[in-house]
Amino acid sequence: MVNKKSAIRHHIAPSVPLSLSLVDDNGARQLDFKLAFDFNSFSMVEDKIGINMLQSASDFFDSLSADKLRVALWAALQIHNEGYEGDEGLEIVGSYLSYTNAVVVAAALRAAFVAGLGPEVQKAIKDAEEAARAAEAAGVAGEVPLEATSTPA
């Protein structure tokens, strides 16, 4: 976690913002987070779900389930956000998710994952996204693969 003091400086992965609007018995509130992935967060996902993030990143983000979404959000919160450690933190994060915000959370998680990749891989993903949009506009089915992110460079 970033806020803990250490004599050794940690590399801090780039982050992307996520804002969640929640309503409960106490009223409405907005939670603002910074999401980031590094190998520590990948390891947390692997430990909880049993999926290899280095070999299955494309599958992970292309076929999200409630459990994957919950665990990925929890792992991505660890670098920049305090108070979500351990199983209790995972349970808290799960309470923030709903059917109505799952798509927004999934997009932010994917963006956080891509933000941590090298510039060459980011360019390949951007090019694939543009090609998919162009194919869709032309009436041809296209996908935006994360294959380039499945194996480390």
**Residue of 29, 6, 115, 106 whose CA lies nearest to 64:** 106
Per-residue pLDDT of 69-127, as tens digits, reads 999 999 999 999 999 999 999 999 999 999 999 999 999 999 999 888 888 888 888 88
pTM to 2 decimal places: 0.78
Please answer whether residues 97 and 74 qualify as being in contact, where contact means their C-beta atoms are separated by less than 8 angstroms: no
Give me the pLDDT at residue 88, please. Answer: 97
Residue-level pLDDT at 144: 55
d(CA 2, CA 9) in angstroms, rounded, equals 9
Residue 149 has pLDDT above 60, yes or no: no
Q: Is the pLDDT of residue 130 over 90?
A: no
For 5-14, 31-40, 41-50, which range has the lowest pLDDT when averaged over its residues?
Answer: 5-14
Evaluated on CA atoms 77, 78, 84, 90, the torsion sign reads: positive
Higher confidence at residue 151 or residue 76?
76
Q: Which residue reads 């994060």 in tokens?
A: 93
pLDDT, greater one: 48 or 134: 48
Query: Can you tell me the mean pLDDT for 54-80?
Result: 88
